Amino acid sequence: MLKPICLLCTGLLAAGNLFAQTEPNKSPATQDAAKPPTVRDAAKPTTEQSPPPAVAQSPAAANTSADQAAKPQVDKNPPPLDPKNMDTSIKPADDFYLFANGGWVKRNPIPPEFSRWASFNELGEKNNDALHEIAEKAAAVAPKTAAKSKVEKAAAADLLKVGDFYASGMNEKEVDDARVKPLQDEVKRIDAMKDRKDVLKEIARLHSMGVTAFFGFTSGQDDKESTMVIAQAFQGGLGMPDRDYYTKEDEASKKLRDQYVEHVTKMLTLAGEPAAQAAENAKKVMALETALAKPARTRVELRDPQKNYNKMKQADLQALTPDWNWADYFKAINLATPGDINVGQPDFFKGANEVFKTVSVDDWKTYLRWHLLHDLAPSLSNDFVNENFRYFEGTLRGTKQIKPRWKRVVAKTDEELGESIGKLYVAEHFPPEAKARALEMVNNIKEALADRIKTLEWMDEATKQEALKKLAAFTVKIGYPDKWRDYSLLKIDRISYAQNVMRGDSFETDRQLKKIGKPVDRSEWGITPPTVNAYYNPNMNEIVFPAGIMQPPFFDPKADDAVNYGGMGAVIGHEMTHGFDDQGRQYDAVGNLRDWWSPESAKAYTDRSKAIVTQYSGYEPLAGLHINGELTQGENIADIGGVKIAYMAFQKAIAKKGPQPKIDGFTPEQRFFLGFAQIWRNNQREEDLKLRLNTDPHSPGRFRTIGPLSNLTEFQKAFDIPDGSPMVRPADQRVNVW
């Protein structure tokens, strides 16, 4: 099962699930790696640095701003391209990222509640304000459902659930007074465990609550029979962001481990353990998680869908882990007929079996108490919330200040009731004309990609026909689902925020498990309508663009075609190209993992993708820290291909309209590339950049601009940039797959 590949993705599901997004939805610090992804001369040790920023700034300094206590300032009605955001003292040929965004970079210090401040955050803040208004209104109104039509009753039910959930979260006094009481029953169950059979039963119970302790288990499409949903077991059970945080021996990694043990100690102390006991138990947690990290695959290894596909019978799965009984586990999660199971990482489960049989029951109690507490900490009293923030946001990402409570509760409402609040959101904030114009762009870019495939000199005719067949089969989803999710069986009240979160997580886990053994529902969405993101799903062979991203700076109904194609067009092209990146290309038109490539075309593709790995591995965002070209390979391929085919579609669009005038002194072609650059503008804290270089399959925003454009002759021509300039790679080193 390869999950949707998103524009802002952070983590790889170890079952082979890769949510290929434009940008990461969540902080990498809050997810472990298991959750359901220019060198001038390769032989030389020296690397080609990115084009030098102005005034002798390092690339890190260009993307890292001083701390400021000001609230985030978001222009409610920005022009499509604001000249104030540029820095024309810098030549486009030297550093196009700063030429296009230097003014914005200088004027937009990182607000204290963020680890980075980017175009995605700006739009996210605008959407947060809209959701905040919706949630406040919902909380203030108690809808009467009597004597109303079925449609009106459904709308009233959505409003009621959103209002009750939000109100429970905003009742800070009640949440603080409750402290850990909402977890007491679960803690009692953990403490009552007597043997390993009880341990397995409790692991299953936590899984049913959405807590990924020990390993992960969920449903997902069968990679080789994409019409069906099967069970998926995958590596997991870590508290730190990635398995490498447990295994690396550099001093920085050792320090983060020590700080993690301190954090676990503090959290266990807050939960009532004596300080000395909590300190010893925190060491036990670290030891157990380290034992799980060692057999786990790296993020680069998790990018191989073939290796993540290991479908087997229950008896074969049982043979992998002889020391726990899967039949007992399935009974405990209420899965009567598991059927075949895809085991994403068999070696992990072999290692996990050793952990299961050697760790004492008392140590399992400590570990499971910790993961329950860790998972629910953001929904508990402020002492837990603040300590959780201190480590996962402050230490790991450099964030200076926690977000206001209403923002955290709105985000959780979107997470638990995304299609209820999403339905209310699109009714007020997504005009039909936006969907119509976006669909027109999708069709134009799809046509451009087809033209590109037909003219590829390195791909043979038989493979081209398969590629065109896959492209023609793309499903396009824009704005919001045609069929909304039914939350009628989810109990939400105003009594306990933490209990609402727990019920919401259990509801979603149950919904996922009930899919096992059933046909795929192709109408379902992977992200909520207000989300500022987009994705491609290889198993569905679909591209999805929620209402949340269909706004400036990505898409502006009032803007000229150049800006829209450079922004949203490049996003659309990016997601389409994911269907043909190093992972997506392994799936066919119906979403099956199948090799449809001739050996000759496959080799030609691999040669080109290796050149992209080499290019990006040469970039050094921080001294001594390079981009991981293997980890970011798919996203870099999509960035380069996306902007190229968007430009092709843009050229065809303006050709139909005749010559276009300059705006603010820039030609349509120049405005296209300026529109592309502005969607990647950002300022970023050094800690966050370090974390993302370890865990994020996307390159930093600066390199998502200069990396693709330095390969494109279309960009060079638009700004009349001479060969040999920093923004133009030598002709024999330019890379492009699509």
Task: Give me the DSSP letters along 102-133.
Answer: HHHHHH-PPPTT-SEEEHHHHHHHHHHHHHHH
Say if 328 falls within a structural domain: yes
Which pLDDT band, with edges at 50, 70 and 90, does 659 fall under? confident
Mean pLDDT within 121-137: 96
Q: Is the pLDDT of residue 123 over 70?
A: yes
Q: What is the pLDDT of residue 3?
A: 55
Residue 444: alpha-carbon gap to chain centroid: 27
Segment 265-276, tens digit of pLDDT? 999 999 999 999
Are the CB atoms for 236 and 203 separated by under 8 Å?
no
- Check residues 405 and 58 and name the one with the higher pLDDT: 405
Tokens, residue 94: 């030297």
144 CB neighbour count, 10 Å cutoff: 11
pLDDT band at 76 (very low <50, low <70, confident <90, very high): low
Exposure letters 149-160 (e unless 16+ CB within 10 A, then b): eeeeebbbbbbb
Q: Residues 361, 196: contact at Cβ < 8 Å?
A: yes
Query: Where is pLDDT greater, at 36 or 511?
Result: 511
Sign of the Cα torsion 565, 570, 575, 581 reads positive
Confirm if 374 and 263 have CB atoms less than 8 A apart: no
**Residue 36: predicted pLDDT:** 38
pLDDT of 541 higher than 70:
yes
Task: Evaluate if residue 15 carries a pLDDT over 60.
Answer: no
Distance CA 350, CA 700 (A): 36
Calpha distance 133→495 (Å, rounded): 22
Cβ count within 10 A of residue 84: 10
For range 68-79, the mean pLDDT: 62
Q: Bigger pLDDT: 32 or 372?
A: 372
Considering only residues 606 and 40, tell me which one the structure prediction assigns the higher pLDDT. Answer: 606
**How confident is the model at residue 17, as a pLDDT?**
42
Strands 542-546 and 475-479: parallel
Could you read off the pLDDT of 466-507 as tens digits, one per residue?
Answer: 999 999 999 999 999 999 999 999 999 999 999 999 999 999
**Token digits for 726?**
């920093």
Average pLDDT of 600-625?
96
Write down the pLDDT at residue 152: 65
- Which residues 6+ apart lie within 8 Å of 411 measured at CB? 128
Residue 536 has pLDDT above 90, yes or no: yes
Is residue 73 scored above 70 in pLDDT? no
Beta-bridge partner residues of 13: 17
- Is residue 299's pLDDT more than 60? yes
Q: Which domain holds residue 321?
A: 195-379
pLDDT > 70? residue 664: yes
Question: For the domain that residue 301 is a member of, what is the CATH number?
Answer: 1.10.1380.10
Helix axis angle for 668-678 and 96-107, nearest 10°, is 50
At 558 the pLDDT is 85
Give the 3-state secondary structure of residue 538. Answer: coil
Residue 631 lies in a domain: no
Buried b / exposed e over 216-234, threshold 16 CB at 10 Å, is bbbbbbbbebbebbbbbbb
Contact indicator for 34, 75 with CB cutoff of 8 Å: no
**486, 442, 634, 621: CA torsion to nearest 10:** -100
The distance between the two most distant Cα atoms of the chain, rounded to a whole number of Å, is 79
Give the count of domains, the chain.
1
Per-residue model confidence (pLDDT) at position 137: 95
What's the whole-number average pLDDT of the chain?
90
Query: E strands of 420-527, at which residues?
Result: 475-479
Q: What is the pLDDT of residue 432?
A: 83
Taking CB atoms within 8 Å and a gap of at least 24, the contacts of 507-511 are: 508/210, 508/416, 509/207, 509/208, 509/209, 509/210, 509/218, 510/208, 510/334
Q: Considering the domain boundaries, does residue 113 fall inside one?
A: no
The answer as to whether 436 is a domain residue is no
| 96, part of any domain | no
Query: What pLDDT digit, counting tens, does each position of 588-601 carry?
Result: 999 999 999 999 99
For residue 543, give every residue at least 6 positions away whose Cβ sits within 8 Å of its Cβ, in sequence order, or none.
442, 474, 475, 476, 477, 534, 535, 536, 572, 575, 576, 579
pLDDT, average across residues 384-404: 97
pLDDT at 8 over 70: no
H helices present in 473-598, as ranges: 497-513, 561-564, 570-578
Asked whether the beta carbons of 329 and 320 are under 8 A apart, the reply is no
Average pLDDT for 667-689: 97
The secondary structure of 324-378, three-state, reads CCHHHHHHHCCCCCCCCEEECCHHHHHHHHHHHHHCCHHHHHHHHHHHHHHHHHH
What's the pLDDT score for residue 147? 44
pLDDT on residue 157: 87
Query: What amino acid positions are annotated as catalytic residues?
Result: 575, 639
* Least confident residue range of 31-35, 372-376, 420-424, 514-518: 31-35
Q: Are 12 and 697 in contact (CB under 8 A)?
A: yes
